[in-house]
Amino acid sequence: MADAALQHNAVEHSLPGEYEAPLFGAYSKKVGMWLFLASDSLTFGALLFAFSYNRIYTAWPTPFHVASITNATIMTACLLSSSLTMVMAVFAAQRSDRTWTRYWLLATMAFGTAFIVLHGMEWTKLIGEGLTIPGFPRPATAATGELADVSKNVPQFPATFFGLTAMHMLHVTIGVIYLGVVAFRKWFLPVIAVLWIGGYFLIPSDNIFHYGIHALGLALLVSAVILFLKPKDYDAQDVEVSGLYWHFVDLVWMFIFPLVYLMSTKIT
Partner 1 sequence: MHDAAIHDDSKSQYFWVWGALLVLTAIEVVLGYKQVFEPIRMLQVLLILSIIKSALIIGYFMHLKFEKALMRWMLVISVTACFIIMYFFFFPDAGRVLPPPNGVGLQ
Q: What gap in Å lies between CA 114 and CA 12, rounded to an integer?
A: 50
First vs last Cα of the chain: how many Å apart?
82
We find the least distance from the C-beta atom of residue 235 to partner 1, in angstroms, to be 9
Tell me the CB-side half-sphere exposure of residue 108, using CA atoms within 13 A: 33
Are 27 and 237 in contact by the 8 Å Cβ rule? The answer is yes
According to the binding rule CB under 8 A, does residue 194 interact with partner 1? no
The only residue of 121, 222, 226, 254 in contact with partner 1, by rule CB under 8 A: 254
Among 84, 106, 174, 227, binds partner 1 (CB under 8 A): 84
Size of the site for partner 1 (CB under 8 A): 57
User: Is residue 262 a contact residue for partner 1 (CB under 8 A)?
Assistant: yes
Q: Coil, strand or helix: which one is 64?
A: strand
- The yes or no reply on residue 95 touching partner 1 (CB under 8 A) is yes
Our finding on whether 77 is near partner 1 (CB under 8 A) is yes
In the set 78, 86, 192, 220, which binds partner 1 (CB under 8 A)? 86
Site for partner 1 in 129-168 (CB under 8 A): none
Q: Which residues within the stretch 1-20 sit at the binding site for partner 1 (CB under 8 A)?
A: none
Residue 122 binds to partner 1 (criterion: CB under 8 A): no
What residues between 19 and 48 interact with partner 1 by CB under 8 A? 23-27, 30-31, 34, 38, 41-42, 45-46
Half-sphere exposure of 115 (CA within 13 A, CB side): 32
**Residue 221, interface with partner 1 (CB under 8 A)?**
no
CB of 181 to partner 1, least distance (A): 20
Name the CA dihedral angle for 142, 147, 153, 154, rounded to a multiple of 10 degrees.
Answer: -110
Q: Does 76 bind partner 1 (CB under 8 A)?
A: yes
Report how far residue 146's alpha carbon sits from residue 129's, in angstroms, rounded to the nearest whole number. 5
DSSP tag of 15: P
**Longest CA pairwise span in the chain (Å):** 84
Q: Which residues, 6+ apart, have CB-to-CB distance to 113 below 8 Å?
A: 176
Position 66 contacts partner 1 (CB under 8 A) = yes
